[in-house]
Amino acid sequence: MRNVRETRKRYAILCGIIFVLFIGVMLRLAFLQLWDSERLTKLSEQQVTADITRGNPRGKILDRDGEELAVSIMTSSLYVDPMEMVDTLKGKRQQEPVRDVKRLGADLLAPVLQMSAEELYQLFSSEGRFLWVKRTLEPKEAEAVKKIIADNKLPGLHFLEESKRYYTKKGAAAQVLGFVGTDDIGWSGIEYTLNTVLSGAESRHEALFNALGGQMLGKDAKSQRQENLFNVYLTLDSKMQYVLEDAMDDAIKRTKAKGATAIIMDPYTGEILGMASRPTFDPNKYHNYSADTWSNKAISMIYEPGSVFKPIVACMGMAEQLITPNTMFNDEGKIQIADRVIHNWDYKWELKGKGQIPFSDVIKHSVNTGMVQLGMELGAHKLTNYSKLFGFGEPTGIELPGEESGILYKAEDMYKPDVATMAIGQGIAVTPIQILRAICAIANGGELLQPYIVKKIVAPNGDVVREGEKKVIRQVISKDTAAKMRAMMEQVVEGGGGKSAAIKGYRIAGKTGTAEKLSEKGGYEKDKYIASFVGFVPADKPKYAMLVMIDTPQGAFYGSQVCAPIFRDTLQQILVAKGIQPVSGEGLPSFEQLEQAKFTEPEMPVPQLILLPDGRLKLPDFTGVDMRRAAGIIRQGRLRLKPQGSGYAYKQKPKAGSIVEEGSTVEIWFK
């Protein structure tokens, strides 16, 4: 009986202890669930999950004909989970020390990733579950890293696919296209302007980890990437752009200039067909270049235009009925306005001037004294008001970042010498795109257009969601005034300062310019100039307008010497390639003649460029080939054609069979 009572007593004590423990556990659970749940939830999530953001591919950028300029490719990016970086072989080996996988991984990967071993070791020793090691690895780089990880059984290192931008033409139109950073966000050019259009929507997922720290890819991590690819078509013509880029490279090489830019524009629509700037860069490797190479001089460089501004002032005078092309001016070689004496550009050998000359000769020979006389008649208010009408002093509105407004002084702040110098293109600061747009107004009959470079944006389903179109800002001069000015500019090329821009068989209108270079400290830099040429072809009904600007050329510095020949050589190639017929009978055969020749003459074998294993090219014999066909063959090999004459080829340099590098110049004589 006594034993039974003791047993019951012990049982009651045990039940009491269990009850107290149960109440304690329940109270603890209640505390954790009700008061400390938020902190514990966050801690749990940090231990078993990590947020990972995946970038989707960007939309393509293409030229007007659909040729790819920028595309996105999927590449591997390396990240680390430092908590996983423990020796997974521990306990599986006998009498071997435990490896320091963080140090081992850092030492092995440093040479491949081109990072310091110490930098990697510090990264591998950091806190957190997801840290980028290196993003968007090159394919060979990624394969080498994967092999090291596999061969050495390195834990904690993983790959994710990310989008990487690739520019198919390397440095072509670099400042127009811009580039994207490692985060796949546009930093400059069209990539920046249309970043929200080109960017694919990001996809986010949580990476899950088990109790041992191993990653478990869940459903979200394996899901397909959501693609939202809008493709952007530019107004650029890749073939024209190639010729333009080549011309700029050649110009910098020959003139040893500080910089250069060239623009080709359709004067009737405002479409930018080509735009190149120097110095330049390869957007695939933008980080290897200084930031000044990213700048697009065509829209951001401010400079005094010099004599290329004279046709615009001449239009002002005709619009105000102050002059006609036949109005006589007296040129004495110099003119004094207040305390300022202004000479003609050729005053060193034309001491007495040209005497009585019509205004058309003032433009033809770029006579400063005549322009000053006209400027003084116009006065400060009309000069500045008309300049505003022509679009100076404000951005053009082209879809590119970094466009400058230029500088246009207020009329009330101008003294007589300021009025005089503005009439010859000094005392006003412009951008290249502003000058070309103003000259296009002369070319097209008086319409000031808004330049544009985005031709269309196409949605993933093929719908065109935005389309570039001609936009007339205003009519700045009459058609009659524009026609008279075109005729005077044509005389500049026929027998004036722009003769070196002439292309045999074509009517060219243009104007040279040579301006002193502004100093950052004020005033002008000694013996430093900005040379330019602007013009259009054909002169009567222009198809292309082009501006060439060379910043601080060494040696020869006049626009007629350094810029007009670039205009000529570039447009000659383009005219031939595009089949624009010359006006004289000495030029290319008509399309009708070519069609007829198919039936009346035996078909000649088409010469073929031979691509050698080392990437060089073997030239064929071009004898008897017409200029258009020769240009097409040259273009296929990414060579540069320098044609002489027109008709059919009879001589070439280098000779047939020569081995040349890509980008070389081939000179062919035609008759």
Per-residue pLDDT tens digits for 442-475: 999 999 999 999 999 999 988 999 999 999 999 9
116 confidence band (pLDDT: 50, 70, 90):
confident
Q: What pLDDT does residue 240 have?
A: 93
> From the CB of residue 205, how many other CB atoms can be counted at a distance below 10 Å?
18
Q: How many residues does the chain have?
A: 671
Lowest average pLDDT, out of 211-225, 419-433, 568-582, goes to 211-225
Structural domains of the chain ordered from first start: 51-234 (3.90.1310.10), 238-283+296-577 (3.40.710.10), 591-670 (3.30.10.20)
d(CA 627, CA 669): 9
Per-residue pLDDT tens digits for 280-319: 999 999 989 999 999 999 999 999 999 999 999 999 999 9
Region 30-41 average pLDDT:
67
Q: Is the pLDDT of residue 224 over 50?
A: no
Q: What whole-number percentage of the chain has pLDDT above 90?
A: 48
> From the CB of residue 646, how many other CB atoms can be counted at a distance below 10 Å?
21
Q: Are 362 and 258 in contact (CB under 8 A)?
A: no
Region 509-537 average pLDDT:
89
Q: What pLDDT does residue 212 have?
A: 47
**Average pLDDT score over the chain:** 85
CA distances to 15, 22, 364, 393 from 18, in Å: 5, 6, 112, 89
Per-residue pLDDT tens digits for 145-194: 898 888 888 888 888 877 788 898 889 999 999 999 877 889 999 999 99
Region 560-589 average pLDDT:
80
Q: What pLDDT does residue 309 have?
A: 97
Q: Are 408 and 385 in contact (CB under 8 A)?
A: no
Look at the block and give the residue holding tokens 């055969």.
Answer: 589
Q: What pLDDT does residue 203 have?
A: 54
Measured in whole angstroms, the distance separating CA 516 from the mean position of its chain's CA atoms is 27
> From the CB of residue 180, how many other CB atoms can be counted at a distance below 10 Å?
27
For the record, the structure tokens of 184 come out as 């796949």
Lowest average pLDDT, out of 212-221, 279-288, 409-418, goes to 212-221
Q: Is the pLDDT of residue 103 over 80?
A: yes
Q: What pLDDT does residue 93 have?
A: 52
41 confidence band (pLDDT: 50, 70, 90):
low
Q: Provide the 8-state DSSP code for 477.
A: S
> From the CB of residue 68, how many other CB atoms can be counted at a distance below 10 Å?
15
**Hey, which bits of 325-421 come out as E strands?**
328-331, 334-337, 340-343, 355-358
Lowest average pLDDT, out of 221-235, 237-251, 301-315, goes to 221-235
d(CA 312, CA 435): 9
Region 56-66 average pLDDT:
90
User: Of 74-83, 217-226, 486-495, which has the strongest mean pLDDT?
Assistant: 486-495
Q: Is the pLDDT of residue 5 over 50?
A: yes
Q: What pLDDT does residue 105 have?
A: 84
Q: Provide the 8-state DSSP code for 647.
A: S
Residue closest to 133 by CA, chosen among 143, 146, 123, 125: 123
Q: Is the pLDDT of residue 216 over 70?
A: no
Q: What is the 3-state secondary structure (H, E, C) of 237-304?
A: CHHHHHHHHHHHHHHHHHHCCCEEEEEEECCCCCEEEEEEEECCCCHHHHHHCCHHHHCCHHHHCCEC
Q: What pLDDT does residue 590 have?
A: 43
Q: Tell me the pTM.
A: 0.75
Q: Is the pLDDT of residue 594 over 50?
A: no
Q: What whole-number percentage of the chain has pLDDT above 70?
A: 85
Lowest average pLDDT, out of 403-412, 420-429, 592-601, 627-636, goes to 592-601
Position with higher pLDDT, 579 vs 205:
579
